[in-house]
Structure 1
Amino acid sequence: MTNAVPQQSRARFDRWGPWALLAAGAVAAALSARPVGMDRTATAVSAVLVAAAAVLQGCWARLKRRRPGPSRTGVCLYVLRWANGFVLTWINPFFAFYAVTGYYTASVDLPRRLVLPGLFLTAVTMAGSEVGGWPPHGPVLWLGFLLVLAVNMVMVAVFTRYAEQEQARALVQAGTIAELERTNTALEQALRENAALHDQLLVQAREAGVADERRRLAAEIHDTIAQGLTGIIAQLQVVANAPDLATARTHLERASRLARHSLGEARRSVHNLAPVALAADGLPEALRKTVGEWGERTGVRARFTVTGTVEQLHDEVSATLLRIAQEALSNAARHARASRVGVTLSFMGDEVTLDVRDDGAGFDPAAAAPRTRAGGFGLDGMRARAERIAGSLAVESEPGHGTAVSARVPLVRDDR
């Protein structure tokens, strides 16, 4: 926008400036014809040359419209205009108004190597006009002509240098503006792409959050409600085959406790709270009760042990270890056919380790891995729980030699 205004002004001056200067020179020469000693012949010749200058300017304008910039034809027209202006200035110095056109058109119409020669020719014409006209009369005027010519050439060189520097700065500025425009365009495109990517990431994050919540609820249901229902069914089966009313009542009470416990777990799972067993007790006591109730329910001899200095753990760590213990005990009840189970909670510096061992049938971990991944929340579920809090899970088992599940997680204290 700022460069367009000067360019439009220069285009208008290039089109109408020579005509205005020619007219100014003709009027000044006509008014000064008698003082400078123009006779009829000189007046007639100047009139013919002014008409020729007008025709030449018209041809020049048509050439520039067809082929802007320096060219051989442009060089010829420049030399013809200079020669016309030189003769007119010889006849009357006031025609220098027209001859000065060569100063500001040389850099536009001439090739770079001919700019200074063209300016020199114009300076010769202007210097002759400034000392009183051609030819200078006497040594003093010739000396004055040479002095004025030298001054004109110095001024021309200085202003030409300034013009070239200004043109170079303008080109650099134009390049900078163009680069900024390209950068702004690229930035706008990047912002649009980032906005689209941000929206996409929000959608993916929302979908991932929904999927993670579904997995959490599925794991909670599997580890709590499903196991509770399994225990209830087992107790009811015992009731169905009970030999007397007292035995049936005992197992019904156990089934009732399991039902209430499962209901509490379901409510807490929905609200993402800690397991029921951790509502009033710390992890060691909750594990002790869980192991004891499991042994009483299954009839398997179960033992719980704590080693190290007991620490108050963060709720997430306690809940994770309790769920892993419940799943390991559930697997032992369903698959191990064990006679003894040992659960050990170890506080070791900056780690907590939970070990669940049984003397049951055992299995081949490598062969069981694909089945576990396809089947639900067994070993993979326990491993995912441990990894969710930067822990790990290891399983050691061999057919006929029992199973050991070991979960190792960071010891994160509860600072409340």
Structure 2
Amino acid sequence: MPLKVLIVGAGICGPAFATMLRRSDPEHSITVVERHPEIRHNGLQIDLRSWGVPIMQRLGLIDAVREKVVHEEGLSFVDTHGRTHGVFGASGSGTGQQNFTSDFEIMRGDIVQILYDASLEGSKPSSDSEDGPGVRYKFGTWVTGLAQDEKGVDVTLSDGATERYDLVVGADGQWSRTRRLLFGEEAGLDMFKPLNLYIAFYKIPKEPQDDAIARFYQPGDGRCIVTRSADRPYTQAYLFVRTDSEEVKQAVERQSVESQKALFEKLFRGVGWQAERMLKGMHESTDFYADSLGQIKTPHVVKGRVALLGDAASCASPITGMGTTVSLLESWILAGELARQKNDVPTALAAYDAKARPYIEEMQKLPPGSPWLMTLKSRCAIALLHAILSFISWTNLDKFVTWFTPEEKGGLPLPEYPELKLDPVP
């Protein structure tokens, strides 16, 4: 029997899961609710790595990704005078095996649009009713209540409407309301494990020296600045700070933009290189976003007939480079198990919970030395790092290591689900 499914969140994994579910059985009735009034095109550069690449190939969307890729050629480490201490190019592998810069760098809004369009392709809901086949989106709407039994989930929405579903999927991000409703407010928030790392990012006007190489600058005291431009008409600015300061935490986590900008102004004023340009652009930006970075550690990614996906289930943190891949892989496993178990929701969710776990553990492994190496405290440590990076870059040791790195992270292969009716990658 086809399922009546509610997906909470229209970021990356919401539309991805809707696409996979609809293709496996066009008779499913799939509703996606999103609290924003439309698909969000904000956010800066993200990438595909590891299992994310073959999944997009299976979906027939890799060419659409290639049409939108940001042509970033690599990453250089610079000092306060702008002198380069090591340049690391993109791997050029065209697979999930990547270097600092992926071959599949793409703006977040572009990949969201690709997946959103794919989820609606060939889908023609017969009416406004949620009982017919197809995919439909409800914007400006969110979940305020969940009550479930053995046969379904009763959902209350922000507009006061109530509806019953066979399955609810929370794909609503790091601070997931679905997770908090499922496990309790306090327990849901406590599943966020901070790295004591805070980030602000936004766009600033592009200048002539902003080329296809991203730049990474550390002034010390746990701070760093990253810029990325490539072939875009603007420059992306990223400010990072690592600290256990309660003052910083209180000024960043779910606070006003004014409070966040004031904090980053205080932390980055006068730190050298292009800091003044970054701060001027920050105050003029209209797309500023700041948050704390960490990982979501859940005992289970399902409870009853509710499942979590992506950052809501297992945020790996941006410094792993695996956020987009987490969203795609968990969507793949959940959709695959539902198809394999012939829409037996309890059995499929139990299988998803078990099969996703080793992949989650692998994806949440932080790169060696992270986040400390990217936010060093002393200038002596930074000078030593620059010397090491210069040597690695000069000897091409990074390319040698990448050559012998498996495409599948941790050597785990992409699970095969012929039941999804997608062609295997040749």
TM-score by length of 2: 0.20
Higher RCO structure, 1 or 2 (CA under 8 Å, sep 6+): 2
Larger strand fraction of residues = 2
- Greater radius of gyration (CA): 1
TM-score by length of 1: 0.20
